[in-house]
Structure 1
């Protein structure tokens, strides 16, 4: 689990307050669906292994944090710059109801200023799947972190089953 220092928590809550205030002008918030988070995957396209961390805050308060070691991508041949197999993994145990939440992702010991941010309020969909990418296939950004998303409803099937099971018992 990622250790969140008081300084980091204050920095994150400041960011979340500003982001939350930006959404206060919306007149009809009930018309947008509440997003469900179905998955958080990791794809490492860099030829070096990395430790990937994620933090989800809700109204500035940390509600989930985790990290995982992800294997390096493997080249097609020893001297190739083409990726044959990416390192990958999936986070588990994250909250599925993410309305008003923000996800931060980073690799290794990146400073807070380099963390990638994904604001769930910016998306008007009922289902989201996230994938934290490190690098790219062309190796033009070998260590850069980005957060990609999908709105494929199949992503949220397992999350909907878990929510239903929690409600039943």
Structure 2
């Protein structure tokens, strides 16, 4: 027979289910499986934020690490969105000549996001390197404290911190 949910467990579920990974919620609720958490949330009518499962928890305020990432992208790169069968892939392209700098930035992004990233040499520009990353990084960069403006002529993005 299934164990009854306590009020404390339901409160944790209501607070975290919309914007955190199911694995991190299951750590807070050690006696509950990921599937039982999902089923209870559906029964309670709690909706998930788009992309919450794929990413790390996004901070509410800008941090120096996010500022560094934005600075590198503004100064030496751009972001391109690739849509394929309803899924989006976000590529960060750096127009730099040093593979060492590209590798350092890749390692920094991997530590920041907790995701393994792939680096490939971009053939259409002189010694540019491109990171294939998922929308979690884009969501992380576009947290509610940032506005995104696009300039389609140059296919570049400008970032402004509020």
- TM-score bucket of the superposed structures, by smaller chain: under 0.3
Q: Which has the higher helix share?
A: 2
Which structure has the greater CA radius of gyration? 2
- Work out which structure has the larger RCO, using CA pairs closer than 8 Å and 6 or more positions apart in sequence: 1
TM-score (norm 2): 0.26
TM-score (norm 1): 0.25
Q: Which has the higher strand share?
A: 1
